[in-house]
Structures are given as C-alpha cells and as structure tokens.
Structure 1
Amino acid sequence: MLNAIWLITLGVLGASNLIIAKKPNAKEVIEKIQPIQGWLGVVSAFYGAWALVQVILNISLYSGISLILALASTGSLLVLGFLLGLGILKTFVKDSTKLDELAIKLSPYQGTLGLVSIGLGVWVLLQVLKVL
C-alpha cells in the first residue's frame, strides 16, 4: 500500500505542470508537497535502484504482466526520483556535468513518467485492495 501511495505522490509531483494545466485548483495541494520534492526524489531514486536490482535478482518469481508492472514501477521510481531529486543529488558530487546532461535528456519525459507513475500507483493500490 505504501508503494502505491509513494508512486502516486511521485507521479503528481512529476506531472504537476500537466495536472495544474487541466485542474488549476490542484495547484494548492501540489504546492503543499513541493517543499519536500527533492528529498522524495532522492529517496525514490535510491529505492527504485534497489528495487530494480531486487526484481532482476528474483525475476523467476514474476510472470507476464507482474514482471512488466514491477519493472515499470521500479523504473518510474528511479527515473522520476532522479529528476525530482536532481538539485539535492548535485550537492553530493563534485562535478555535476554528467548529471545535468542526463537530466536534459530525461526531462522531456517527466510529465509522461509522472502520469505513468500515477497509473501504476493506482493499479498497485487496486491490487492490494483486491479490487482487480
């Protein structure tokens, strides 16, 4: 359940521009969680990397759609986490040129990744609640 909520929150932050464009009244809610966006991103990036390794190491436990969903969820955590936590991640390295280059390549996909993350989070939530 926590993974679902985390994915949805990360997705809302990642797709905040798209969400605010469609629902301007959502701006107030999104602004309440934006102050912790960087740290949510850093934690998500590290957790996503760790979870991705766990999925790969235990790949025999997954089948079909569950493998696709696990890879998509962990990839979403990793990439969105990196993009949202970039400002904080830069403070941990001496030369952030490579981080900036990677962010430039990935940033056009941030909104889409945010929406995918929201969808994955809802899917996981429905799975946990045994609705699907």
Structure 2
Amino acid sequence: MILSIIALLGGIIAASPVIIAKKPNAKELIDKITPYQGWIGVVLAVLGLIGIIQMILHLSAFSLVWLIGLAASVVQFVVGFLLGYGLISQYVLEKNETAKEKGQQLRLKLMKYQIPAGIVLIVLAVLSLVL
C-alpha cells in the first residue's frame, strides 16, 4: 500500500502541469509534495528497476498479468528517473562524466513522456490501491 501511495505521488508530480491546468486549486497540494520530488523519484526508479528485473526473471510466467506488471515497472522507472534525476546525478553520476552525459541524454529523450507516464502511473497506483 505504501508503494502504491509513493507511485500515486510520483504520478501526480509528473503530471502536475495537466492537473493544475484542469484544477488550479490543486497547485497548493502539489506544491506541498514537490520538495520531496527527488526522493520519490529515486524510490520509484529503484522499484521500477527491481520490477523489470523480476519480470525478466519470471519470463516463464508470460501472461496478461505479466505484461501489465512489466508495463507498470517500466512506467515507474521512467517517472522515477525523471523526477529523481537531480539526486541521481548528484550522488551517482557525478564522479563519471561519461555516465553523467549519457544520463542527461536519456533524460532529455524521456522528458516528452513525463506527463503521459505520470497519468498512467496515477491510474496504475489507484488500481493497485483499489484492488
């Protein structure tokens, strides 16, 4: 349940431009969780990476549920990487200039998917909380 709440918060931050455009009064709530964006992103990126690895290891269980799990893990990783890039860059990539440059290139490629991925992550988090 806590992981679903973290995913929901990450989705809200990632999709905040759309949410604020539709509900301007949501800006106050989003402003309260934005300072934690980096840490939420790092947690989501790690959970997404773990989920992707688990899905690959359990490839023999290929089914619709497996595909949904893989998609959810990929979305978590993308949103987490985008939200947590500042902290990831500061603590992990800082010592290696090549890794930092490649990380920035990946971030720029993924930026156009931030809002759609945030919306998908919100839906997946709500579904996991309900189910």
Under a length normalisation based on structure 2, what TM-score does the superposition of the two structures give? 0.89
Percent of residue pairs identical:
43
Matches within 5 A, 1:65-76: 66-76=65-75
Output the aligned Cα RMSD: 1.3
1:9-88 equivalent positions in 2, closer than 5 A: 9-61=9-61, 63-64=63-64, 66-88=65-87
* Runs of 4+, deviation exceeding 4 Å: none
Match of 2:127 in 1: 123
1:113 corresponds to: 117
Uncovered stretches (5+) of structure 2, i.e. residues with no partner = none
Q: CA deviation at 1:62?
A: 5.3
Q: Distance in 2 between matches of 1:46 and 1:30?
A: 23
Aligned to 1:102: 106
Which has more helix, going by share of residues?
2
- The one-letter amino acid paired with 1:11 is G
1:69–1:120 CA contact under 8 A, matched in 2: no
CA distance in 2, matches of 1:102, 1:122: 28
Cα distance in 1, alignment partners of residues 70 and 20 from structure 2: 28
Runs of 5+ consecutive residues of structure 1 not aligned to the other structure: 128-132
Q: Distance in 2 between matches of 1:122 and 1:42?
A: 20
